[in-house]
Structure 1
Amino acid sequence: MLFKLTDEQVMIQNMVREFSRKVVAPTAAERDKTREFPSDNFKQMGELGLMGMMVPEEFGGEAADAVSYVLALSEIAYSCASTSVVMSVQNSIVCESLNKFGTKKQKQEFLVPLASGEILGAFALTEPDAGSDPVSQTTTAVKDGDDYVINGTKRFITSGESSSVVLVTAKTDEAQAYRGISCFIVPKATPGLIVGHHEDKMGLRASDTTDLIFENCRVPAANILGKEGDGFKIAMSGLDSGRIGIAAQSLGVAQAAFDAAIKYAGKRKQFGVSITKHQAIRFQIADMATKIEAARQLTLSAASMKDRGEKFTREASMAKLFASEMVQEITAQAIQIHGGYGFTTDYPVERFYRDARVFTIYEGTSEIQRIVISNSVLKDKRKP
């Protein structure tokens, strides 16, 4: 199915594209070098309604559909992948989880400032020894009167330093396996919540990724998200939406790398003619364009299914798998077209390549996506 965007979706895409090119792009390369967090970007993005796009207006959001969100996120990723990953976590996992599982009081207290971009959120699931297997996490939350006391360490947390509130999963009943995992809303100012090691990353260098350490961190029982034992369900639901977000980021970076390659190839001459005259380059361009479009259709399809209220777990994994692996190829080919210049920081394609490398890893590796997809295919008799 080819998607015909609505007038409103096109308007959102154009608005974000203009903002992204004029405001986000000019500082992206420098932020990559200095690792400066783009807090000024997020202030303006909050004012534009980009930090809580799918949140109902009642709680400060824009009530946009998932397709519009994909379009907007791709445009931000086109200019700065570091900015886009924070936007993705904020929208797809943090705001989505609070909106879906939170009480009205929790939404008023936490979702409203998140949706407006006043504060940033983080989602703490991964641990040093629990990545693809979240059930093996060892962080615990023990009930003590009207509070829960959380102990444990979370790793690779996007916006671990810059966030003001964290959704953290912890075991409340060891004997119940995944049914014994709960989710808690923890303000960063809570005593016992410590920001630990900052990762020195290959890419996405302007976004902070840290450990979060919980040492007898006491939170009110009123801060449990959903019910006790809902943590695994909340995490998996958030990751479904998050995977559409990763696919959208992949699209943005791939399109940026493709456009850069086209621009360079149009100016570069070898053997007396533009290299776009050579069949080898033209075939590369054809393959790149085709793969980007295929990823776009998968991503829009998954987002559209979400908008229709259909189950989209399989489709989100398909979009994430294909788009995240596609962008590895596109950025590598963009460097190849640039030749030796692509290996230098004089051109942006080396940054695109570094930024894109993590897309096949976080929010579920490609291997995990293949497990999700194959399990669904073998269990569900739906026609593809």
Structure 2
Amino acid sequence: MSTFGNYFRVTTYGESHCRSVGCIVDGCPPGMQLTEEDVQTQLTRRRPGQSAITTPRNEQDTVEIQSGTEFGVTLGTPIGMRVMNKDQRPKDYGSSTMDLYPRPSHADWTYLEKYGVKASSGGGRSSARETIGRVAAGAIAEKYLRLAHGVEIVAFVSSVGNQFLFPPTPEHPTASTNPEFLKLISDITREQVDAPEFFPVRCPSKEATGRMKKLVEDFRDRKDSIGGTVTCVIRNVPSGLGEPCFDKLEAILAHAMLSIPATKAFEIGSGFGGCQVPGSIHNDPFIKAGAAPNGSEKTSGFPKPRLTTKTNNSGGIQGGISNGAPIYFNIGFKPPATIGQAQTTSTYDEEEGILEAKGRHDPCVVPRAVPIVECMAALVIMDAVMAQHARQSARSLLPPLKATRPAGETIPLLAE
């Protein structure tokens, strides 16, 4: 459906070439300062037309907050946000050939099979325009998480085609054992990712950026496309987030990331490379955690963890629950389906023919996917934080619970 989340609920609306796209955010805490500027930053990072290796569609993606705030402060009521489509060209999809064929690897055929009707232009709800609502909502979640818990979310491009930032090696089949990768995710900032020397690829290495940019340009010039991966790290995540069994934190992250258009893969922590190392290397031993900030044993309503892990092959999640270490994961994006080359395919009437697609499309989506990944991660963590706050608030009203050992010694059963 079009709604995501339980406590912080987001419903998006709009198609690729309709009048506007946007969202309704329900459950945002009241009393937080919020203006369009807070949301616009991420929408601007996501918008098309940023460079020669993205779609030339020129949308400013200017957001308007319609409800849920007064005098720049959230009211706790639903927040409505709208972005007008200004540079849509539905006529590009109404040519004598485009309306006869389901485009290869697009959702034209599957939407028609499901609904019996489909949007006549663009990808409809399967278009990347739909992600505007996600990004707008995620920007709100990010601000709350940053103010309330100091959470930092940073994503970057880690590969394009066969060009990698950290290619697998016999010594490090998974980046989780590579000291250079671990240092990067502990320090990387959005300002660095968007620095001129790394733009427009958004890969935090000048040398790797050059290789990736050239590869995208080569495919663009051949009227083709190429895929890649985005890596995301979430720092300062409170421990205890996530629900056992079916709603494990990594399962909800996977759900969120694989709902983004063009995604094909998700791996967290050591990922597939971790399958190639023995348990003696893969296990994350526990060690005493450092002192809490300012000597406080509690930060932002959550207890300060007494333990942390020496390594982080788990990617910050164990048993489906956050352990306080940085959470990091990779998302694989396929090559954009629309290419300029003529392709042999079938018409809706089951006759073989040649389709040469028109329209304006990215030769590689990963640079623009970076803020989408960050905002979807924020929605997941925000929902998990609110669920845990509700649980701990209810628990705090009860008297302390004690357990008795066989010898008669009493110990706290739960942390106080």
Same fold (TM over 0.5): no
Indicate the structure with greater helix content.
1
Q: Which has the larger radius of gyration?
A: 2
Q: Which has the higher contact order (CA 8 A, sep 6+)?
A: 2
**Superposition TM-score, scaled by structure 1 size:** 0.26
